Structure 1
């Protein structure tokens, strides 16, 4: 398989994962107010992660989670769809999927095995970040050529 086909396959994967998260975030905004209390609260009561999760199950921390999950999913999805700051978006997408994976796993999600949708999502985000999927038909290709990123080479880690 040629490198060109691999590059276009990465674009398809980036768009699919981006749409998945963009849709999830926008869906939460359309059903506003979003409340993660059932998810976080249930995990706090049922898992060995309870003490850590309890911090986010009520009050200001839950309000923060209720805002940041839809905002985060929307921004992650948008970043991947347009191919902008792809590695940064993928990092935060992988972080969310890791959070969801461990919470769901402990609350019975692993009853069907260790390989779940959350784990597959985590692997997809890792692939997109590792292979620099934003530089093919994405804004990251343009950003990499700007003077700002040329003068700040460490910031190139954020773009794909």
Structure 2
């Protein structure tokens, strides 16, 4: 028996784990939820970057340092412990990447500009934060502070990947305008950075 759909409802049919799945969704609510999630993630990055920048006063944007965390907070049982100690030796290079990376990622997510690139860079940063939070290795289930395997960095990483897949920068963002430009039309590879 067919059900009557509302005008803004659509149906997605796809293959998931070898099975065909279908579900109805509202285009309007999907658009609002995608923009809302984009703005929340923009705030997460922008706030984190600006707090680090302001930590030592606006006159010295690099007063905050990752060295204390990298050298002291990563558990010795973490299988990547040595990698994070090595990063600690290069905090002078890591710190501006974190601070300015978070600010720029936050702004790109906020304005929907070069969204896919920004979301992927944010996901990479979240992957580093997630692996740094491991308290031990695979045999212990990669425990993190409040459970096993999953923490907020992991959730943010997946959320950013999903937003990039949806092309969230096109919804009330600058990427929707940029994709109509002659430069992008002449260079279709730029669409991998936009969206």
After TM superposition, the score normalised by the length of structure 2 is 0.76
From the CA coordinates, give the structure whose radius of gyration is larger.
2
Greater strand percent: which structure? Answer: 2
**How many residues align structurally?**
158
Between stretches 2-11 and 99-108, larger displacement belongs to: 99-108
- RMSD over aligned CA atoms reads 1.6
Structure 2 match to 1:72 = 101
Structure 1 match to 2:83 = 52
Decide which of 175, 180, 187 is 1:145's aligned counterpart: 180
CA distance in 2, matches of 1:106, 1:43: 10
SS at match of 1:55: helix
8 Å CA contact retained: 2:75, 2:135? no
Between stretches 42-51 and 144-153, larger displacement belongs to: 42-51
Q: CA deviation at 1:153?
A: 0.0
Unmatched segments (≥5 aa) in structure 1: none
Unmatched segments (≥5 aa) in structure 2: 1-24, 57-62, 137-142
Structure 2 match to 1:21 = 45
Return structure 1 stretches of 4+ with deviation > 3 angstroms. Answer: none
After TM superposition, the score normalised by the length of structure 1 is 0.92
Structure 1 residues 8, 45: closer, same or farther in 2, change over 3 A? Answer: closer
Q: CA deviation at 1:4?
A: 2.4
8 Å CA contact retained: 2:102, 2:122? yes
Greater helix percent: which structure? Answer: 1
Q: CA deviation at 1:3?
A: 1.4
Decide which of 69, 72, 83 is 1:39's aligned counterpart: 69
